[in-house]
Amino acid sequence: MAILQILEIPDTRLRRKAKAVTSVTEDIRSLMSDMAETLYDCDNSVGLAAIQVGVEHRVLVIDADQTEKGPGRLYKMANPEIVWFSEEKTLSAEGCFSVPGCYADVERSAAVHATYIDENNQPQKVEAMGLLAACIQHEIDHLDGILFVDHLSPLKRERVMKRLQKIRRFSA
């Protein structure tokens, strides 16, 4: 397993639409494992999409249950698809590895139902609420070339981008 390098904006690869996986092969399982290791290596991490590590496959990993005591329920998903969105919406702060150090409130469906192929090449379903639902929506957005900042008003997006520039300037 390996820690993967995470792409950051303005890297244009983040805007590409990921391609469907035809089968969960040993290479895809290895990618999922490396992505999980990368996820757990970062503080306050919940999910990671393959496109964020420069791989154009519809693959993501999510652990919305981890605590300081350790990992929670790890989802390894290939070809995830949301098949139902609740009408109820929630507003919560989101951040992203690809927009480091920046957070903003994003409105998303409070609950979703999703289908995916697991690491054993088996079809699965998940009914998610709260953080897990928001994370599934966030990570699938990545697979479609969408970042959380795209859900913000132009003014809020500009503020986030200025904050990112400031963070980069002071960390250089």
pLDDT in tens, 62-90: 998 765 666 678 999 999 999 999 999 99
The 10s digit of each residue's pLDDT in 32-68 is: 999 999 999 987 789 999 999 999 999 999 998 765 6
pTM for the predicted model, two decimal places: 0.94
Task: Tell me if 50 is assigned to some domain.
Answer: yes
CATH of the domain at 159: 3.90.45.10
- Measure CA 98 to chain center: 10
The set of catalytic residues is 139
Task: Tell me if 41 is assigned to some domain.
Answer: yes
Task: Please state the domain count of the chain.
Answer: 1
Q: Whole-angstrom Cα distance, residue 65 to residue 140? A: 18
Q: Which two tokens stand for residue 21?
A: 């996986």
Task: Tell me if 34 is assigned to some domain.
Answer: yes
Task: Tell me if 22 is assigned to some domain.
Answer: yes
Q: Whole-angstrom Cα distance, residue 54 to residue 40? A: 18
